[in-house]
Amino acid sequence: MKTVSEHKKTDLGSEPVGKLLLRLALPAITAQIVNVLYNMVDRMYIGHIPKTGATALTGVGVCFPVIMIISAFAALMAMGGAPKASIMLGRKDHETAERILGCCTSGTVIAGIILTGVLLLFGKDLLLLFGASDNTIGYAEGYMRIYACGTLFVQIALGLNSFITTQGFAGISMVSVVIGAVANIILDPIFIFGFDMGVQGAALATIISQALSAAWVIRFLTGKRTALKIKAKYMKIQWKIYGPCLALGMSPFIMQATEGAITVCFNSSLLHYGGDLAVGAMTILSSVMQFSMLPLQGITQGAQPIVSFNYGAGNAVRVKRTFFLLLRASVIYSISLWAIAMFAPKLFIMIFTSDAELVSYTMWAIRIYMAMSLIFGIQIACQQTFIALGNAKTSLFLAVLRKIILLIPLIFTLPMFFEDKTMAVFMAEPVADTIAVATTATMFLIQFRKLMKRMEDGTKIDEIRS
């Protein structure tokens, strides 16, 4: 009878790649969608609080950038370790893989404790920095003060769950998210309306739900089914082991942490040139982009364990087969998404508004904003494969390139060259996408070919180097 470790090695190392990717990607996509719905449920209930719902919703909305930063720290402290652990499993170095898990567990706990203290001491200042007003700061602070107490649960539930996915347990990983989402849906109306706790009730429901998810993750990673176990003897942080994990986690950290900054940049520029209508359109566009990218993220999450494990095992054929299947699936999806945005944009827009003026305005804006979304599948597939292969330097550069080096400056510089200033702001996205995709694809083509040749020659490789 095979052990769990043997069973997973056989699955990731020899099962048909197409079947394996499908089985791992579907639960990952489901988990991504459930996670977004998780966040939307709070807003739906808060918006229906009698008399104060609109103001309360605005106040909680101000908390979103802070919540994104908290989630980003989970990526920094733990998610970079998951591909590294999978590579070690592929190399049959089980002890190092468990040492990585132990270091990431300790780092996640330390980050959770520090973030809790920072939010409790400076939460109000952060909320004012992100746009809370005299009318909304009371609601924002009331929500954040309670949410901060559950920061440790968020870190564990998000960060360590990646170690479940990386072993091939995509279904178990999905359940981690679903447990929290279902609990939140049940508890929100009880605390918000039943106990008349308002936004504080929503925050309390959220941290209880995250605690349940965290408990599920810890229970699994200390149980019998997992190949990687959290063990006390491996929880002392060793920088030789943990440093590369942090470096690899920097890419998803930057991608998540900068979301709030990009939103602020877009909104401030559009408000200046196009007024509230342009900002309203941008709200819809960012929501469409966020929701429509979830399947791509799920596909790449499904591919990561296969790429990482077979890279560690030195199986160049399966690494190539997985990547090109991932690339085809990502490009087909992104082209389909682009076609809807160009030829039937109302399918997206009417989900968020029925206001005729806003619909009309957003229809032309979405065609500009998503003009190059058809090639974005290339960006996602290549960038996430860099992470799966343990290439921290290149994945970090690409994360910084698209959002910080390109997108934010373009938001403010393009209007200088066009008469239609609002159109120029919306153009920042496709221009940044085009340059980023061209750069990513070129770097990937060069480095991937070198890596595959070295693997086929039997050369021992620690990582792809830029």
Q: Give Cα 358 distance to the centre of its chain.
A: 29
pLDDT per position as a tens digit, 246-261: 998 998 888 888 876 7
Which of these, 57, 411, 101, lies nearest to 232 by C-alpha position? Answer: 101
| Top-confidence residue, 24 or 51 | 24
- Strand, coil or helix: 175: helix
Decide: 131 and 62 in contact? Cβ < 8 Å.
Answer: yes
Write phi, then psi, for 371 (nearest 5 degrees). -60, -30
Distance CA 316, CA 307 (A): 9
Supply 414's token pair.
Answer: 């393009």
* Lowest model confidence (mean pLDDT) among 65-79, 273-287, 314-328, 448-462: 448-462
Residues 6+ apart with CB under 8 A from 321: 17
Which of these, 389, 98, 78, lies nearest to 227 by C-alpha position? Answer: 98
Q: pLDDT above 70 covers what percent of the chain?
A: 94
Give the position of tokens 């021992």: 460
Give the position of tokens 């957003």: 362
DSSP label of 315: -
* For residues 323-336, average pLDDT: 95
Give the position of tokens 């997108």: 407
Q: Please tell me the predicted confidence (pLDDT) of residue 11.
A: 66
Write phi, then psi, for 166 (nearest 5 degrees). -70, -15
Check pLDDT > 50 for residue 232. yes
DSSP label of 2: -
pLDDT per position as a tens digit, 296-329: 888 998 899 999 999 998 899 999 999 999 999 9
Q: How many CB atoms lie within 10 A of CB 83?
A: 31
Q: Please tell me the predicted confidence (pLDDT) of residue 60.
A: 77
What's the pLDDT band for 243 if we cut at 50, 70, 90? very high
Q: Please tell me the predicted confidence (pLDDT) of residue 39.
A: 66
Check pLDDT > 80 for residue 10. no
Check pLDDT > 60 for residue 133. yes
Q: Give Cα 464 distance to the centre of its chain.
A: 23
Give the residue ranges of DSSP H helices in 225-314. Answer: 239-257, 259-292, 294-312
What's the pLDDT band for 458 if we cut at 50, 70, 90? low
Decide: 180 and 157 in contact? Cβ < 8 Å.
Answer: yes
* For residues 189-218, average pLDDT: 93
Q: Please tell me the predicted confidence (pLDDT) of residue 52.
A: 76
Mean pLDDT score of the chain: 87
Q: Please tell me the predicted confidence (pLDDT) of residue 409.
A: 96
Check pLDDT > 70 for residue 63. yes
Supply 146's token pair.
Answer: 């309670």
* For residues 331-352, average pLDDT: 91
Q: pLDDT above 90 covers what percent of the chain?
A: 49
Distance CA 4, CA 12 (A): 12
* For residues 131-156, average pLDDT: 89
Domain ranges in the chain are 16-253, 275-456
What's the pLDDT band for 12 if we cut at 50, 70, 90? confident
Give the position of tokens 């942490």: 257
Q: Please tell me the predicted confidence (pLDDT) of residue 459.
A: 58
Check pLDDT > 90 for residue 456. no
Q: Please tell me the predicted confidence (pLDDT) of residue 3.
A: 37
Distance CA 278, CA 70 (A): 29
Distance CA 249, CA 76 (A): 4
Q: Please tell me the predicted confidence (pLDDT) of residue 396.
A: 86
What's the pLDDT band for 207 if we cut at 50, 70, 90? very high
